[in-house]
């Protein structure tokens, strides 16, 4: 049989994402074997990769996934191996964990920022992010980014209460002016009563290969909420690409990034668990 054009030659386990077969060193349980399929109820199919102890989309599994860095939620990001670099208002930030989620937030007068970043040092690769990540207060700039050499995928997870949407900042074709590619049906907010808890986000950036570009999936949907041609992504060093150019983040064209850019007089908080970045 085929599911979304993907041939499935074995049985498929179905359930909610928290009910997927438990894997990985954190649980000390191994109920899944390499290549096993799992379908989220009403949503996408994933395959278990024993190489990285995670369920990933079939196209990631087929590409031989490599894990770069995790953010489990049960420990501080700076205690992960490899460790995240954490910055809060220009200084090293001690984040908090309740044993399940990591919380990260900053606010106040003037310009402020709260950042997690990791220099993956890769160039012209295919990257992926998966994880429970959500903002828990109204904000405009909270998001995450994958940068690979020349281009960056910068996804803003939500917006102020007067405009629920996600968006991707891109460079238009009309002389390089900035434009936003917006997703009106989704936002990664939990402070609104209509938003479900533990929102799930997936981000895929292909910086090489025959089909280059970016895709965004929200809450295990079958088809991406947003796609963008590689050529329309922001160039490293272009407008809006100031996320790693401050004194507390070493300049690099290849980083994973979670947090918010400089924003005046705003309070933004977010929480995360079971997040991971890698390549395929």
d(CA 181, CA 215): 12
Which of these ranges, 81-95, 115-129, 172-186, has the smallest mean pLDDT? 172-186
Residues 184 and 49 in one domain: no
Please say which residue of 13, 43, 61 terminates a domain: 61
pLDDT digits (tens, 9 = 90+) for 39-78: 999 999 999 999 999 999 999 999 999 999 999 999 999 8
Quick one: 73 and 114 in the same domain? yes
Cα distance between residue 275 and residue 84, in whole Å: 12
Whether the CB-CB separation of 76 and 95 falls below 8 Å is answered with yes
170 vs 243 pLDDT, higher one: 170
Whether omega for the bond prior to residue 272 falls within 30 degrees of 0, making it cis, is no
In this structure, are 247 and 259 located in the same domain? yes
Q: What is the four-CA torsion angle of 185, 191, 192, 197, rounded to 10 degrees?
A: 70
Q: What is the total residue count of the chain?
A: 280
pLDDT for the residue numbered 73: 94
In this predicted model, what pLDDT tens digit does every residue of 5-47 receive, in sequence order? 556 656 889 999 988 987 766 666 678 899 999 999 999 999 9
CB atoms within 10 A of CB 15: 12
Q: Are residues 26 and 100 in the same domain?
A: no
Which residue spans within 41-160 are E strands per DSSP? 45-49, 54-56, 66-71, 85-88, 91-92, 96-97, 102-107, 111-112, 114-119, 126-135, 142-148, 151-156
Task: State whether residue 264 is helix, strand or coil.
Answer: strand
In this model, does residue 1 exceed pLDDT 60?
Answer: no
Closest by alpha carbon to 140, among 236, 240, 267? 267
> Domain of 14?
1-61
- Check pLDDT > 80 for residue 264: no
Q: Are residues 53 and 82 in the same domain?
A: no
Give the pairing type, strands 37-40 and 12-15.
Answer: parallel
Contacts of 81 (CB under 8 A, 6+ apart): none
Clarify whether residues 15 and 148 are in a common domain. Answer: no
Q: What is the CATH number of the domain that holds 75?
A: 2.60.120
Judge if 16 and 152 occupy the same domain. Answer: no
Q: How many CB atoms lie within 10 A of CB 246?
A: 15
Give Cα 251 distance to the centre of its chain.
Answer: 21
pLDDT of residue 117: 85
Do 262 and 191 have their domain in common? yes
Q: Which residues are bridge partners to 67 per DSSP?
A: 278
241 with 171, same domain: the answer is yes
SS3 87: strand
Please indicate, yes or no, whether residues 124 and 43 belong to a single structural domain of this protein. Answer: no
Beta-carbon contacts of residue 156 (< 8 Å; ≥ 6 apart): 140, 141, 142, 143, 166, 167, 168, 169
Please write the tens of the pLDDT for every residue from 215-259: 999 999 999 988 888 988 887 766 554 565 544 455 567 889 888
| Integer Cα distance of 232 and 45 in angstroms | 29
Q: Give the SS3 label for residue 77.
A: helix
| pLDDT value, residue 191 | 63
Mean pLDDT, residues 178-192: 69
3-state secondary structure of 183: strand
Domain boundary among 61, 79, 106: 61
Domain identity same for 81 and 132? yes
The 10s digit of each residue's pLDDT in 107-163 is 544 445 567 889 898 889 999 999 999 887 766 667 888 988 888 888 888 655 555
Total domains in the fold of the chain:
2
CA 135 to chain centre: 12
**Which element (helix H / strand E) includes 58?**
helix 58-62
Q: What is the structure's pLDDT at 244?
A: 52
User: Could you tell me whether strands 66-71 and 267-279 are parallel, antiparallel, or unpaired per DSSP bridges?
Assistant: antiparallel
Among 267, 233, 225, 176, residue whose Cα is nearest residue 43: 225
Instruction: Return the minimum-mean-pLDDT range out of 127-141, 176-190, 205-219.
Output: 176-190
Residues 77 and 57 grouped into a single domain: no
């Amino acid at each position: 049989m085929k599911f979304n054009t993907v041939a499935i030659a074995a049985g498929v386990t179905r359930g909610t994402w928290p009910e997927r077969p438990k894997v990985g060193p954190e649980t000390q349980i191994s109920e899944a074997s390499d290549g096993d399929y799992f379908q989220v109820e009403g949503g996408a199919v994933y395959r278990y990769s024993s190489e990285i102890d995670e369920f990933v989309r079939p196209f990631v599994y087929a590409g031989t996934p490599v894990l770069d860095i995790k953010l489990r939620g049960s420990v501080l990001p700076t205690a992960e191996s490899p460790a995240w670099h954490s910055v809060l208002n220009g200084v090293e930030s001690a984040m908090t964990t309740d044993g399940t989620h990591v919380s990260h937030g900053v606010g106040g007068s003037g310009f402020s920022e709260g950042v997690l970043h990791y220099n993956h040092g890769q160039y012209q690769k295919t990257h992926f992010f998966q994880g429970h990540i959500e903002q828990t207060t109204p904000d405009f700039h909270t998001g995450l980014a994958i940068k690979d050499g020349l281009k960056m995928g910068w996804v803003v997870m939500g917006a102020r209460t007067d405009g629920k949407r996600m968006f991707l900042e891109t460079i238009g074709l009309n002389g390089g002016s900035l434009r936003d590619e917006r997703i009106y049906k989704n936002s990664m907010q939990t402070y609104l009563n209509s938003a479900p808890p533990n929102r799930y986000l997936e981000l895929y950036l292909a910086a090489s290969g025959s089909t280059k570009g970016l895709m965004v999936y929200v809450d295990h949907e079958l088809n991406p909420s947003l796609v963008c041609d590689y050529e329309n992504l922001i160039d490293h060093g272009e407008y809006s690409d100031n996320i790693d150019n401050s004194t507390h983040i070493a300049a690099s064209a290849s980083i994973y990034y979670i947090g918010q850019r400089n924003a005046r007089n705003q309070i933004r908080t977010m929480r995360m668990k079971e997040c991971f970045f890698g390549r395929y």
